A = this chain, B = another copy of it.
């Protein structure tokens, strides 16, 4: 089977064709400008493709509730032109096939359980640490929805004792995203993360915040795997420090093998690498076909 996949991001839309094994056969990207222009390019790319279904994982917030009148919309995004944009409705005008739809990070979590680091498991959290911090989750095989969907980037964190950076989340100042996304690193240290590779203190502080996020996720969602992706996580030295901090913070309270003996296999990079988002969209399409 062949699936159309769209990973709709704030700076670019990645579009591709994948198969039921999560293999990406074709891949292009278009800058995110206006819905008219960007969607025009997207529709043009897909119009002659053979596809059994399409999957759309997008920046949010979105309405993922199938029984809602605004299902398939990007809703209250700060990107004014995309606010209340009916992305699935627009695509359905052109493609008469089943659609899967969710946040980019819920989709990535699904993709990781299908073909990636959480393959064979029925639960995982996927968190991306990049320009922002976002997270999605699969629990008992289903992406988490309720009132809305997870928005893990904005959880509260305790300040590192040596960190006096004010934080730069426009809503909350020193929430997780405000303290630990790529732009926070850049603002705190006056240089991009990639230029700070050798400065241990940068990653000690970064890991301190990301470990708090992991701990709170363990206490609330109790995922079987925590996958950390996004540009900042290319700094692979973060992983052992995060794992160490998680163990210290839990302090023996959660007595599972995952934590006590296999934490190196519990908090991990995406199995699908930088394809996690696009493969996630393929997984959404596959799920929309009921397979």
Contact = CB atoms under 8 A, between A and B. Distances in A.
A75 B152 contact: no
Contacts of A96: none
A261 interface: no
A254 interface: yes
Interface string A240-275: 000000000111111110110000001000000000
Nearest to A255: B76
Contacts of A212: 156
A153 B61 CA distance: 28
A154 B157 CA distance: 14
Nearest to A76: B255
Main secondary structure of the interface of A (DSSP, over half): loop
A151 B155 CA distance: 17
Nearest to A142: B140
B223 A220 contact: no
Interface of A: 61, 75-76, 123, 135, 137, 139-140, 142, 144-158, 171-172, 212, 215-224, 249-256, 258-259, 266
Given A155-B219, A155-B220, A156-B216, 15 more contacts: A135-B220, A148-B256, A149-B222, A150-B222, A151-B253, A154-B219, A156-B212, A156-B215, A158-B158, A171-B251, A171-B253, A172-B251, A172-B253, A216-B220, A221-B221
7 contacts: A147-B266, A150-B220, A151-B254, A154-B253, A156-B158, A156-B215, A158-B158
